[in-house]
Structure 1
Amino acid sequence: MSGPLHTLDGVVYAAPERAAYYLEAGIWERHTLGDALRCAAREVPDRIAFVCEGRRMSFGELDAESERVAVGLRSLGLQVHDRAMFQMGTTIETAVAIFACFKAGVVPVCSIPQYRELEIGKLAELTNPKAYFVQADAVARFDLVSFAASISRRHEIPHVIVARGQPLPDGHTLESLAQVAPGETLEATEEFGCEDVVVFQLSGGSTGTPKVIPRFHAEYQGHVRSWCDRYEMRDGDVGIWALPMLHNAGMMFSIVRTVLYRATTVLLPQWDVARYFAAIESERVQHAFTIGPHAPAIASFDNVAAHDLSSLRSIFTLMGAEAIERATGVPSTNMFGITEGLVLTGTSQSPIAVRHNSVGLPCSPYDEVRLLRPGTDEEAQIGEVGELCFRGPSSLRGYYAAPDINAVSFTPDGFFRAGDLMRAEVIEGQIAYRFEGRMRDNINRGGEKFGTEDVEQLIARHPAIADGKVVAMPDAIYGEKACAFLIAREGQTLPTVGELGEYLISQGLAKFKLPERIEACDAFPTTRVGKLDRAHLRSQIAQKIAEENQSATEGRAAGA
């Protein structure tokens, strides 16, 4: 029998003939992610799966503990394809909770601890979760448990499950849930299979609330295998992860890769560049991944020579591979990944022009990539900038419960329109891609992508502001930050950056979305057809920052 065993309304599935082809060809895996862990535990029960904060958990222990929590979830009344909101950090507890959901057929909604009322509320309305996993110490100086309790009351989420902290009254901890029915197992369940939904991931996108992306047991594992094989990862290889665990990249590298390759993953809950290098040395790490603000910290770490990095075979990053390789001597490779189902990258053996000056090639030979002239269905030529469009075994076939968005997100022949601009070029006989920016008005702050729509809506409510527009401005550490162009109400004084931030947080906005610079203006630029010219605003602030940096450099030189 093929096809999902338990379909979920609002999910767009692969056509049966296409799914059958992927399974027969071995492009998709034929087992669920819960069964992948069970298999790893049978084969290498004593091998360490995760290392975190001095704690080491073997595959056998991970399998047993996640099985107990899975039984506990079912004992609460959760059924196959019920959703569970997640706000947890980079810890072993997160791995246990995620695998428990995989085994119980519960679908995690992979939000991040930094989300607040605006984002979590909208996600809760869309996904209707029946449980809420929250890590008590995930965010410094913020009571995430009380926040989860408030959200749960407002959106009628029956069960809040707390990790690394005290439960709510009549609530549960991760540990107590594992004791509900000790000794029972879900291993024999046939209620869902490899073509069923395994997780809801989020797209940063250009709208206020991230769009929900269904990922499936079979395709998700196949996607990870094609990516990891590109880096020549082998059975038992050790990796290190110091980023959010529930992002798509975190799920792929720290969760799925771990069980597929019977790999050890070192988790760093808090970023610290010295601890990062120390862990690579002490745990004999072979593969390291980094993005955003971590890349410059790695490249500029002044104590690299004091650490033995001889085990490290590859470092891959969304930016800054050249500087990292120069600093560490380890082959480093740029890459591009999108939650909608495409990874581009080179290999450690690729020409430097591919590894450092492009984002590489598709990992799967079954991925089709096409660049279209923006706003058209016409293909861009080699060397010409075009919108990235793709389709393949792991490509999105439709956002969850979003028919209107889906109607404009694909070409007539089923290629997903990414909204990212790329340029194709031939490097030593291979077509590689260069990232050239985005068509849509979203901001990528250190790997956290967000749209400007909800920020602007809240800004417009401020009593001193007549109107405001938010665009990306360049930043040496985070890549981009948000800049707000504001028009003051008559007779009013615009707020400072700090005052505006306090106001937006009080309205429920996540902190990482806050504008970090304000530019006062009397009007916004428009295009020839009278529409807001965001490109002009981005260019304006980029030029102003460049001039300020140049003046600062000249000032330091004169002072020397």
Structure 2
Amino acid sequence: MGEPCKGEGRAYPGNPGGQNLHAIETTGPLHPIDGVVYTPPEQAAYYLNGGIWERQTLGDTLRSAAKNAPERIAFVCEGHRMSFGELDAKSERLARSLRALGLQVHDRAMFQMGTSIETVVALFGCFKAGVVPVCSIPQYRELEIGKLADLTSPKAYFVQADAGGRFDLVKFASAMSERHQIPHLIVAGGASDARGHALEGLCEGAGGQDVLDTSHEFGCEDVIAFQLSGGSTGVPKVIPRFHAEYQSHVRSWCARYDMQEGHVGIWALPILHNAGMMFAIVRTVLYRATTVLMPQWDVGRYFEAIERERVQHAFTIGPHAPAIASYPHVARHDLSSVRSLSTLMGAEAIERATGILSINMFGITEGLVLTGTAAASPAEVRHSSVGMPCSPYDEVRLLRPGTIEEVQIGAAGELCFRGPSTLRGYYAAPEINAVSFTPDGFFRTGDLMRAAVIDGQIVYRFEGRMKDNINRGGEKFGTEEIEHLIARHPAIADGKVVAMPDPIYGEKACAFLIPRDGHMLPSVEDLGQYLHAQGLAKFKLPERIEACDAFPTTRVGKLDRAHLRAMIAEKIAKESVH
């Protein structure tokens, strides 16, 4: 594993031309973890020596930021501000304390913490010590934590006392630690359990000011974190991310938006999500930037923070997008600092309501980001597609589901991709890995997309999950196209379309709609006329409307379409009885 790799001129993903790689070397991971699938040495050498991957650990990236901009504010949260110098010093002491507790390189640590500066410090302490965070969230309970603990065998458990709302997260973590024999419970923001350690105390301990030298223990090709798949049901699968590829992945994404050193961003979502790690953690240290953290979502305070901190880049997801688009007091705030707002859908409605240049995007923890360009992409790209790959080394194919046959431009196919940040395999899951990739290494996402050509550029339009299609009497269609058109309706803040049972056709489309402030929702007939006038085929028109104030979400904060389908199915079943 540690032997230098000499190139042989063979073609492979990332080196499609088979360039000769003589004299290109890579050490590989210094501390391999059983069950992790690593990038083949020749590919890793190409990525590293071509500048595609970053040649440093994330802990060293923070150290560099602290050395060059020690007084610059890295994070702002609830009135608390922390500079790069403070973050570097605290996390260094924590790393030493973790080693003093007996934690070793690539021991795992379960994380159930909120969006806070304490979480940031805890993460960087682990990164510097070589401890691998298992990026869980406060909403997980016995099922998820138990399965993840069984799979990853953590030696530490980081928990935040005030992140669970009324739920006693510390008591829960203590019980799970005992049940799964996790030796070290570390508590932030409250009195620790009798068998635990206060995070704040560990950040002050382990005397000495020298940098913890781990250069011989792990390097840029080693695992930095275990992220979790964003599936809507079941226990998430574990996704290893690596120091080198993670940082380069973030750089290619941020470059698309022309993010620069010192730019201020805002994050109001779980920081332990893959997107949170990329935008709020890695981006901050790579660009010596400032990130405003919001532990609790509140649309008014979101706009206040943008104005107060002069935010330049914002990010949101579906459940928050309607609140932003329908916020009635936009005119009260000076939003002139904002260069772009990225969202996982709903960009057109947000831009129309706020005047902020907004961009639809697509991201997946398995290693791909699609998006438009903040300054250069026309509205058609930013609003009616999810853009194109951020990295020129990412290869994208749309395959006919269940095959390796590529579909034509304009036809729906399963999104498959490979590249320098692509998952090589889920952790300790050979059976799942066997069906998750094409024979030539493209990861199968289970997402349907269509390719289109706009201004000579291939862009992608998200059609929905393959399992979320509606089959109306044999005519199958995705829902995202309908939802995009619904979002343009002047009376609708946002809408989601799901299948509802029908005795004749099997399934029909039902639209769950959130009205805009001060507006009445259209009737089924009026909405149908509007959508048909926009060019939507009649068989795709929603045949029922359900008004709602918000959409249900999964524990990882994504839209819970399964819950919407269950809601309408139950309602129809009750109606049929009467």
TM-score (norm 2): 0.78
* Residue 225 to residue 414, structure 1, CA distance change in 2 (3 Å): same
Q: Secondary structure at the match of 2:219?
A: coil
Q: Within 5 Å, which residues of 2 pair with 1:307-318?
A: 307-318=333-344
- Structure 1 CA distance, aligned partners of 2:565 and 2:405? 39
Summarize deviations over 1:256-292 as a string: whole Å, max 9, x none: 0000000000001100111111110110000000002
Distance 1:334 1:146, change over 3 A: same
Is 1:229 aligned with 2:255?
Answer: yes
Q: For 1:455-508, what per-residue CA distance to the aligned partner results, in whole angstroms no more than 9, with x for missing partners?
A: xxxxxxxxxxxxxxxxx9864469xxxxxxxxxxxxxxxxxxxxxxxxxxxxx9
Give the aligned partner of residue 528 of structure 1.
Answer: none
> Match for residue 401 of structure 2?
374
Q: Which amino acid aligns with 1:257?
A: R
| Deviation of the 1:188 alpha carbon | 2.1
Listed as ranges, the matches of 1:23-422 within 5 Å are 23-190=48-215, 191-205=217-231, 208-348=234-374, 349-422=376-449
Query: Taking structure 1 as reference, are residues 275 and 334 closer, same or farther at Cα in structure 2, changes over 3 Å only?
Result: same
Residues 327-376 of structure 1, C-alpha deviation per residue, up to 9 Å, x if partnerless? 11111000000000000000122011110000000000000000000111
Post-superposition offset of 1:182 = 2.5
Contact 1:86–1:134 under 8 Å retained in 2: yes
Match of 1:458 in 2: none
The amino acid across from 1:261 in the alignment is: Y
Instruction: Mark the CA change 1:474 to 1:542 in structure 2 (over 3 Å): closer, same or farther.
Output: farther
Distance 1:331 1:102, change over 3 A: same
Q: Distance in 1 between matches of 2:193 and 2:76?
A: 28
Q: What displacement does 1:381 show?
A: 0.5
Residues 236 and 510 of structure 1: is their aligned pair in 2 closer, same or farther, counting only changes over 3 Å?
A: closer
* Secondary structure of 1:201 counterpart: strand
Deviation at 1:141, TM superposition (A): 0.6
Q: What is the distance in 2 between the residues matched to 1:352 and 1:180? A: 53
- SS at 1:86's partner residue? strand
Whole-angstrom distance in 1 between the partners of 2:103 and 2:510: 44
Distance apart, 1:510 and its partner CA: 11
1:396–1:517 distance in 2 versus 1, CA, 3 Å: closer
- Report the Cα distance in structure 1 between the residues aligned to 2:54 and 2:46, rounded to whole angstroms: 12
Post-superposition offset of 1:205: 2.9
Alignment correspondent of 2:545 = none
Structure 2 counterpart of 1:437, one-letter code:
G
One-letter amino acid of the counterpart of residue 335, structure 2 = L
Backbone CA RMSD of aligned residues: 2.6
1:436 equivalent among 444, 463, 467: 463
Aligned residue for 2:436, secondary structure, equals coil
* 1:452-467 aligned within 5 A: none
Shift of the alpha carbon at 1:544?
Answer: 6.7
Task: Look up the SS of the partner of 2:38 in the other structure.
Answer: coil
**In structure 2, distance between residues paired with 1:511 and 1:291:** 8
The whole-number CA distance in structure 1 between the counterparts of 2:556 and 2:373 is 39
Q: 5+ unaligned residues in a row in structure 2: which ranges? A: 1-25, 470-508, 516-554
Classify 1:166/1:298 alpha carbon distance in 2 versus 1 (closer, same or farther; 3 Å): same
8 Å Cα contact 2:137-2:556 kept in structure 1:
no
Tell whether the 8 Å contact from 1:382 to 1:425 is kept in structure 2 after alignment.
yes
CA contact (8 A) 1:116 1:510 kept: no
Q: Check whether the contact 2:129–2:212 (CA below 8 A) recurs between aligned residues.
A: no
Deviation (angstroms), 1:402: 0.2
Aligned-partner residue type, residue 198 of structure 1 = I
* Cα distance in 2, alignment partners of residues 394 and 2 from structure 1: 18
Deviation at 1:140, TM superposition (A): 1.1
- More RCO (CA 8 Å, sep 6+): 1
Tell me how far apart the structure 1 counterparts of residues 167 and 269 of structure 2 sit (CA, whole Å): 19
Q: 1:302 to 1:60 in 2, by over 3 A?
A: same
* Residues 472-511 of structure 1: pairs in structure 2 closer than 5 A: 475-476=512-513
CA distance in 2 between partners of 1:232 and 1:510 (Å):
27
Contact kept in structure 1, 2:319 and 2:559, CA below 8 Å: no
Query: 1:541: Cα distance to partner?
Result: 4.9
One-letter amino acid matched to 1:220: Y
Alignment partners' CA distance in 2, 1:320 and 1:511: 14
Q: Cα–Cα, structure 1 residues 273 and 420, in superposed 2: closer, same or farther, change >3 Å?
A: same
Q: Give the deviation of 1:77 after TM superposition.
A: 0.5
- How far does residue 515 in structure 1 lie from its aligned partner after superposition? 7.4
Q: Distance in 2 between matches of 1:301 and 1:60?
A: 37
The aligned amino acid for 1:322 is: E
Q: Give the match's secondary structure for 1:408.
A: helix
Give, as a single letter, the amino acid of the residue that structure 2 aligns with 1:402.
A
Give the Å deviation of 1:18: 0.4
Q: d(CA) in 1 for partners of 2:566 and 2:407? A: 36
The letter of the residue matching 1:352 is A
- Tell me how far 1:96 sits from its aligned partner: 0.2
- Give the 3 Å change call, closer, same or farther, for CA 174–407 of structure 1 in structure 2: same
* Equivalent-residue separation in structure 2 for 1:371 and 1:384 (angstroms): 9
C-alpha contact (below 8 Å) 2:232/2:558 kept by paired residues: no
C-alpha deviation, 1:293, in angstroms:
1.5
One-letter amino acid matched to 1:57: M
In the alignment, is the contact (CA less than 8 A) between 2:90 and 2:204 conserved in 1? no
Q: Aligned letter for 1:235?
A: E
- Structure 1, gaps ≥5 residues long: 443-471, 479-507, 521-539, 548-560
